[in-house]
Structure 1
Amino acid sequence: MTSSVLKDESAPPARVLIVDDHPVMRDGIATQISHEPGLTVRGEADDVEPALFLARERSPDLIIVDISLKTGSGIDLIKRLRERNPTTRILVSSMYDESLYAERSLQVGAMGYVNKQNAGETLITAIRRVLDGKTYLSPEMTARILKSRIGGMTVIGKSPLESLSNREMEVLTLIGHGNTTGNIAEKLFLSVHTIDTYREKLKTKLNLSTGAELNRFAAQWVLENG
């Protein structure tokens, strides 16, 4: 004999906060959520500080976060959200390659990752799964993570980008958006010397010889990944 748990339709809808620096994308996600029973949008933000403010003021049940924000990093936002409220449920929705950012996102506190290119109904499935306290990743990413962890195995064909730290990825992205070393230092509250050090590490890890090659690589990577 089988049994099922009936959803309490009298329960208030789950409150969702959307954090994305593209207004059209925010509108699209909000519209999609508005058509779903049991879900409601409780706010939208385009950057780290507005998101932290709304998270505190609106107490959302779920926060959808993009990796790249107006001036900040989604990874940094996730860490700060979790520091303020360890029970916060966070789902990442981004154009960036899942193989590069899904595991990083989970490590800092997210509970799922959806690639915007493949979102559609997947987004709603991911939202409901995370609200249910479960992790959501694509089947391919789940298999990849399991394969890499079993017996300390290394995934064949691993991209050099996967060896970069979260901060190095952030610097690479900022370079790709055309920021100078001084701009990056100011945005990240670091010294110019420290950013120069990161640039050297990036060149080494990505097997690039010059700063110009690094700039071109970063610009192309940002172009291809949104």
Structure 2
Amino acid sequence: MIDIVASGVLFDMDGTLVDSTSVVEGAWGRFGAAHDIDPRTILAFSHGRQTIDTIRHFLPDLPPAEQRRVAEALVADEVENTRGIVEVPGAAAFVRRLVDAGVPVALVTSAPRDLALNRMRAAGVPVPQVVVTSEDTGQGKPHPEGYLRGAELLGLSADRCLAFEDAPAGVESARASGATTVVVGALESDATVGIPRVHGYDGVEVTVEGSAFRIRG
């Protein structure tokens, strides 16, 4: 159960609003096969992080220019592949409820902009007016820069915002920014202890309370 009052909402994308599991597992599976790395190990690290940070982690000896080339090739493949992408249950309707209620909403994702917009549209989830992507930050999750930037663009401090996240790096990022954090899905880690959780957005209610709003579900 959640019952939280805030002034704005910050959403991660993959696993939080959009289920792109089949595309992500396929891309990193091919990468793992090409470099003799167990895809499960890659996925455990990569979730919630920028692609370039994952490439640097697993291929640290590559020259920086080659790391960027590999990352760009992976992203280009994912941008074009939207087959099987769906919304997290209730995500589209929940975002619409927030927007209709006048709640300031931002998307804060580790994905590049073209990839993020393609996935949101493929899943049928409305794209908020404020979108913070990998191009907009110098440091990716788990650093809090993205969430701090998203809150700033909403005209709010992060501690007045509610952040929805599903990945370890993302939860760290959101919490470090000062945002009240809700876990989406089944993630269990030291970082999620005591944090409210939803497994989807069906039945989550939004009510306006003066200049703030309350989310219950």
Q: Answer whether TM exceeds 0.5 for this pair.
A: no
Q: Pick the structure with more strand per residue.
A: 2
Higher relative contact order at CA 8 Å, sep ≥6: structure 1 or structure 2?
A: 2
Rg larger in 1 or in 2?
Answer: 1
Q: Pick the structure with more helix per residue.
A: 1
